DNA sequence: AGAATAGGTGTGAGCGTTAACATATCTCTA
DNA sequence: TAGAGATATGTTAACGCTCACACCTATTCT
């Protein structure tokens, strides 16, 4: 910086002013400084800057299983939004979410002096871990349920699951079965709750819930169970599956059992992964607006960083929309 | 730090020594300092440290379309390995890879003073952009072809594609068709080359190549073309598809055309995405060891950072293994 | 015309850490 | 027991930047 100042014939402070767009620098001087910067390929030292401003311009993100479509998309959205806002993103991708691993991740990122933290708190345990974190760092929970005192940004799981269930009821199905995700996931719980509430509101019977772990394998198992039931009873005509991957497993199990979708049984998934449109048959599912989640979470976090903690607990909800394809139809008329 | 020193009754330098595991500190003193650190919940300022050591302990990663399974998995592997090595990871996820966007990403990360850079250079253009980057920063290319002068870490695409093609030939197929990825992707090119070379080595005819863009949609289109060919000619019995998502599109097209897999036509994919085992039918495919790629790329990069640029251009290759499932069988005997 | 104001620029200090050197204490050997 | 060497600790000076303030020049107002 001293070199630049010398070359431009000004003081280091003026160089600093140019770098920070300070208003009171003569255009001519500014021009001269910029030229010097360019000629010397000068780059300001971010560490020195961070040392004095006490701001690293870096945001930490704690995520879990980022190879799944949902988390990966959320992460992507966050990264885009952060970069647009001029912030760097430092990521910790956890293999398991426990109170311990989350607080380790917190320590790790705090050591890096991040300005704020986004925790993709998909699981109940992580939402709990969140409340245990020191309170002086701005934190936003993404997909977290009620993290007391922390702002939360999430997709409207409830509305999405309601739309899915309602779609099936509206087609004329007596009731809708449900294959849920692991119940320690808040999303799984929200989808389950919405499904049940929608059935109850329609005075439809509420069948037993089948449980999976998001994987196609468990969807397949659930599918086999439902196929057996289909063979003996006659009341399985519609299934709302908590994500697309499990829905794929279900489709496979039904195919093996000779059950036609959607002629005999209708299926709705959740996520709208890129493959969903090419499932056999193309899957009716619920699409989540991950880009909006990314934008909103960054916006809320930056607000917290700049204006300090707000008293009003915020909860920002991104839309989820039903995408109707070929896996749903009216029930068979016996 | 001064507070800690005062509380422990030592100088700030001794505190620094304890923090950096300097050998010559009396255990008793160390104990006292550690207690003071703990009591005051002291955290060393990473910016100040970076300022004087000229090391930020941060690695930059430039990636592209991180919602795809491959890049997301690679990223995950890199993050795990970096954290294990005590480094932070700062990510830039590009929407498009051009020479311009890569060099912008470089500037962005250079402004953050990263100690080194990993570029997931899946596309030819990014591999080229790589060579244009300033030479004073340690850089490792992941999945890049020959980035002159830069070390490269990649999956053995060639061996994987060879195994896939050979598997089909060994089953008795006269030849193997190929649906490639976009040819500006180095992986697509390597898989194509390996496929062609394997056919030629076996003196099998080399059919025209069909082209897709990795998406199920283009796989579907390719599948329709092949289904038409299947109806008129009789020479489509085996297809090697450059990734699993396109293979899904193919399966769908074949199903619509009434072509049975694997009875009439065998299909092999590439990637082994989690869904692949539940495709109709379960897909024979090639699995890539992304964790190894992550580990290796970090290892090579840290080597460069610590020992300076080496004269020997390195190329580290991670294994790809064929996973045989139910989408491949011997050709029909007419 | 003189004073008040605003715009443009320079000076010095300090952010919290580590490196280099200086100093004090201990241990071992001749 | 003296003195060399190792061990343990303290002192001072950077690292490269921004902040607070001081200063100087124009311009405007009374």
Contacts of A251 in chain B (CB under 8 A): 280
Residue B58 forms contact with A (CB below 8 Å): yes
pLDDT (0 to 100) of residue A14: 92
DSSP secondary-structure letter at B86?
T
Residue A87 in this model has a pLDDT that exceeds 90: yes
- What pLDDT digit, counting tens, does each position of B313-325 carry? 788 999 999 999 9
- A217, A243 Cβ separation under 8 angstroms: no
Which of A43, A54, A74, A91 to mutate against chain B (most B CBs within 10 Å)? Answer: A91
- What pLDDT digit, counting tens, does each position of A125-161 carry? 887 788 888 878 899 999 876 667 789 999 999 999 9
pLDDT (0 to 100) of residue A103: 86
Separation of CA A5 and C1' D22 in angstroms? 20
**Mean pLDDT of chain B, nearest integer:** 92
pLDDT (0 to 100) of residue A334: 63
Is the Cβ pair A90, B92 closer than 8 Å? Answer: no
What counts of helices (H) and strands (E) characterise chain B? 12, 12
- A79, A293 Cβ separation under 8 angstroms: no
Is the Cβ pair A90, B89 closer than 8 Å? Answer: yes
- A251, A289 Cβ separation under 8 angstroms: no
At B147, is the pLDDT very low, low, confident or very high (cuts 50, 70, 90)? low
**Mean pLDDT of chain A, nearest integer:** 92
pLDDT (0 to 100) of residue B77: 93
- What pLDDT digit, counting tens, does each position of B150-195 carry? 899 999 999 999 999 999 999 999 999 999 999 988 999 999 999 9
Residue B53 forms contact with A (CB below 8 Å): no
Share of chain A above pLDDT 90, in %: 74
pLDDT (0 to 100) of residue B154: 92
Chain A closest CA to B112's CA: distance in Å?
6
ω into B314 cis (within 30 of 0) = no
Distance CA B196, CA B199 (A): 5
- Protein-nucleic contacts, chain A 187-216 to strand D, CB < 7 Å: none
Separation of CA B57 and C1' C23 in angstroms? 34
As a whole number, mean pLDDT of residues B215-243 equals 95
Of chain B residues 177-236, which have a CB less than 8 A from chain A? 215-217, 219-220
Separation of CA B24 and C1' D6 in angstroms? 10
Chain B closest CA to A102's CA: distance in Å?
14
pLDDT (0 to 100) of residue B168: 98
Sheet of B266-268, strand order: B210-211, B177-180, B238-241, B266-268
As a whole number, mean pLDDT of residues A165-184 equals 97
Query: Chain B residue closest to A250 (CA)?
Result: B278
Q: Find the range with the poorest average confidence among A222-231, B115-124, B234-243.
A: B115-124
Classify each residue of A268-298 as buried b or exposed e, where b means 16 or more C-beta atoms within 10 Å of its C-beta: bbbbbbbbbbbbbbbbbbbbbbbbbbbbbbb
Residue B81 in this model has a pLDDT that exceeds 90: yes
pLDDT (0 to 100) of residue B276: 95
Separation of CA A156 and C1' D18 in angstroms? 44
DSSP run (H or E) holding B297 = helix B290-307
pLDDT (0 to 100) of residue B202: 97
* Residue B142 CB neighbours (<10 A): 30
End-to-end CA distance of chain B: 83
Contacts of B66 in chain A (CB under 8 A): 72, 75-76, 79
Asked if the Cβ of residue A20 lies within 7 A of any atom of strand D, the reply is yes
Share of chain A above pLDDT 70, in %: 99
At A290, is the pLDDT very low, low, confident or very high (cuts 50, 70, 90)? very high
Residue B226 in this model has a pLDDT that exceeds 90: yes
Asked if the Cβ of residue A1 lies within 7 A of any atom of strand D, the reply is yes
Share of chain B above pLDDT 90, in %: 73
DSSP run (H or E) holding B266 = strand B266-268
pLDDT (0 to 100) of residue A312: 72
Distance CA A151, CA A316 (A): 8
At A100, is the pLDDT very low, low, confident or very high (cuts 50, 70, 90)? confident
At B300, is the pLDDT very low, low, confident or very high (cuts 50, 70, 90)? very high
The tokens describing A17, both together, are 């002013």
Residue B235 in this model has a pLDDT that exceeds 70: yes
Distance CA B207, CA A267 (A): 39
DSSP secondary-structure letter at B274?
G
Asked if the Cβ of residue B29 lies within 7 A of any atom of strand C, the reply is no
What counts of helices (H) and strands (E) characterise chain A? 12, 12
Contacts of A90 in chain B (CB under 8 A): 58, 88-90
Which residues, other chains included, contact A251 with Cβ-Cβ below 8 Å and sequence gap of 6+? Answer: A223, A261, A267, A279, A280, A281, A283, A327, B280
Nearest-5° Cα angle at B270, B268 to B276: 80
Residue B92 forms contact with A (CB below 8 Å): yes
Separation of CA A320 and C1' D3 in angstroms? 83
- Which nucleotide has the shortest C1'-to-CA distance from A52? C15
Class of residue B321 by CB neighbours under 10 A (exposed 0-12, middle 13-18, buried 19+) = middle
| Among candidates B91, B220, B275 on the partner chain, residue whose Cβ is nearest the Cβ of A89 | B91
- What pLDDT digit, counting tens, does each position of B237-275 carry? 999 999 999 999 999 999 999 999 999 999 999 999 999
């Amino acid at each position: 910086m001293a070199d630049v100042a010398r070359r431009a014939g000004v003081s280091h402070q003026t160089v600093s002013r140019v770098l920070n767009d300070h208003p009171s620098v003569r255009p001519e001087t500014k021009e001269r400084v910029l030229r010097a910067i360019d000629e010397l390929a000068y780059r300001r030292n971010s560490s020195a800057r961070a040392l004095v401003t006490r701001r690293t311009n870096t945001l930490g993100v704690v995520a879990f299983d980022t190879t799944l479509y949902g988390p990966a998309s959320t992460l992507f959205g966050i990264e885009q939004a952060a970069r647009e806002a001029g912030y760097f993103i430092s990521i910790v991708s956890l293999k398991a979410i426990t109170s311990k691993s989350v607080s380790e991740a917190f320590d790790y990122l705090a050591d890096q002096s991040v300005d704020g933290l986004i925790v993709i708190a998909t699981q109940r345990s992580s939402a709990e871990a969140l409340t245990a974190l020191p309170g002086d760092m701005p934190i936003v929970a993404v997909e977290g349920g009620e993290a007391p005192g922390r702002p939360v940004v999430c997709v409207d799981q409830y509305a999405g699951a309601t739309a899915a269930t309602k779609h099936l009821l509206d087609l004329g199905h007596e009731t809708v079965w449900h294959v849920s995700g692991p119940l320690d996931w808040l999303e799984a719980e929200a989808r389950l709750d919405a499904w049940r509430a929608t059935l109850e509101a329609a005075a439809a019977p509420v069948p037993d819930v089948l449980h999976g772990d998001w994987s196609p394998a468990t969807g397949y198992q659930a599918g086999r169970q439902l196929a057996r039931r289909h063979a003996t009873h006659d009341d399985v005509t519609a299934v709302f599956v908590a994500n697309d991957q499990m829905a794929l497993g279900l489709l496979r199990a039904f195919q093996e059992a000779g059950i036609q979708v959607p002629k005999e049984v209708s299926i709705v998934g959740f996520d709208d992964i890129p493959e969903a449109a090419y499932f056999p048959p193309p899957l009716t599912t619920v699409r989540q607006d991950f880009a909006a989640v990314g934008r909103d979470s960054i916006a809320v976090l930056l607000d917290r960083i700049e204006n300090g903690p707000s008293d009003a607990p915020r909860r920002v909800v991104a839309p989820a929309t039903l995408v109707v394809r070929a896996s749903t139809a009216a029930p068979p008329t016996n």
